[in-house]
Amino acid sequence: LNKDIVIGMDIGGTVVRLGAFTCAGEPVEMREAPIEAARGPQFGLERIASLVQSVIEKLHISNFGTGTGVNIHSKDGGNLVGIGVGCTGPLDLIRGTINNPYTLPTWEDVPIVDFLVDRFGVPVSLENDADAAALGEYWQGAGRDVQRLCAVTVGTGIGTAYILHGKIVRGNGGWHPEGGHMIIDPSGPKCYCGGSGCWESLSSGSAIARVARELVQAQPDKAKTLLDLNAGDFSQITAKSVAQAARQGDSLASEVIDRAAEYFSLGIINIIMMLFPDVIVLSGGVMESFDLFKPTLEKAIRRHEVMLPANQVEILPASLGYHAGVYGAAFLMVNQ
């Protein structure tokens, strides 16, 4: 293997994933390992370094360890162009540090960029994980080469990212915008974001589970399937089991999903009105049940075709799954 290689890495709360790619986006190696964040950043950084090292050895990359930050092209092996890192934030993108004790316990002010530059002697770039995943879908996924790509992740929370002409659209001071916290219905529940009735509070996985738990407590007889799926314990209800029960005809679960789908659709309408992108790529656990949300969304879009041809916006499931962030992090080094 005699070519330029980029490495992408996705550091999440539980797992670190790593991939080596050609600059054309062909994956050549994939690795993953538990991050075990609570064992401390030093442990975590060494684990990350050993994953990088194993890829470097496998690919006979020979510019490893020069410590100069300069790419040395080798005659026999691959040439490592650089390492892109996507990580769950908050991050300090300017200083290249991770500062996320919330989902990476004990990881405060961790200089991931300096660490990797020192260790491997190649350029290293750090990005928010949502932006990295969106870039991945732009590079090799559902939004390939799309001029205006909005990525929406609906899982425990709701995250958004916007890729314009292949570049991440950042906010003020480099901050990553938080489209999941736009207000959709001010009579909705209070959110930790400070607002009431934000998108996340109304149609994220946590919102679906919370509403289902409340309704089941009030009317357990309407949710027999849902309760059965959760061993009769309403406190165990997850968004996934609500979707499953809705598929099996549970009327309460269907009601919860329909309501979440209404709010989900309003958020998508707002993205269409604010940005009018070419493509909206959907990812995250809740979107694995996108088929249950689709009819409501399609109705909402038809309702909103007066100002803009809203049906021109393609709404697609993400295609890279858990690897979107790894692809996008690698693309950071291709698209400099």
Residues that bind a copy of itself (CB under 8 A): 148, 160, 164, 169, 171-173, 175, 177-187, 192-195, 198, 262, 266, 269-271, 273-278, 303-309, 312-313
Using an 8 Å Cβ cutoff, are 230 and 241 in contact?
yes
Q: 276 or 322, CB closer to a copy of itself? A: 276
**Nearest CA among 294, 265, 135 for reference residue 203:** 265
Place of tokens 């029960």: 245
Q: 184 or 260, CB closer to a copy of itself? A: 184
Q: In the complex, what is the shortest distance from the CB of residue 10 to a copy of itself, in angstroms, rounded to a whole number?
A: 22
3-state SS assignment for residue 49 = helix
Distances in Å between the Cα of 97 and the Cα atoms of 112, 138, 141, 159 are: 6, 25, 28, 21
Using an 8 Å Cβ cutoff, are 279 and 314 in contact?
yes
Burial of 227 (0-12, 13-18, 19+ CB in 10 A): buried
HSE-CB at 202 with a 13 A cutoff on CA atoms is 25
Q: 17 or 181, CB closer to a copy of itself? A: 181
Q: In the complex, what is the shortest distance from the CB of residue 109 to a copy of itself, in angstroms, rounded to a whole number?
A: 18
Q: 309 or 321, CB closer to a copy of itself? A: 309
Q: In the complex, what is the shortest distance from the CB of residue 133 to a copy of itself, in angstroms, rounded to a whole number?
A: 18
Q: In the complex, what is the shortest distance from the CB of residue 164 to a copy of itself, in angstroms, rounded to a whole number?
A: 7
Whole-angstrom distance, CA of residue 275 vs CA of residue 252 = 35
Across-strand partners of 165?
Answer: none
Q: What is the DSSP string of 268-297?
A: HHHHHHHH--SEEEEESGGGGGHHHHHHHH
3-state SS assignment for residue 254 = helix
Q: 187 or 235, CB closer to a copy of itself? A: 187
Q: In the complex, what is the shortest distance from the CB of residue 336 to a copy of itself, in angstroms, rounded to a whole number?
A: 17
Across-strand partners of 6?
Answer: 21, 82
Q: In the complex, what is the shortest distance from the CB of residue 128 to a copy of itself, in angstroms, rounded to a whole number?
A: 12
Q: 94 or 307, CB closer to a copy of itself? A: 307
Place of tokens 């410590």: 67
DSSP state of 2: -
Q: 45 or 272, CB closer to a copy of itself? A: 272
Q: In the complex, what is the shortest distance from the CB of residue 246 to a copy of itself, in angstroms, rounded to a whole number?
A: 22
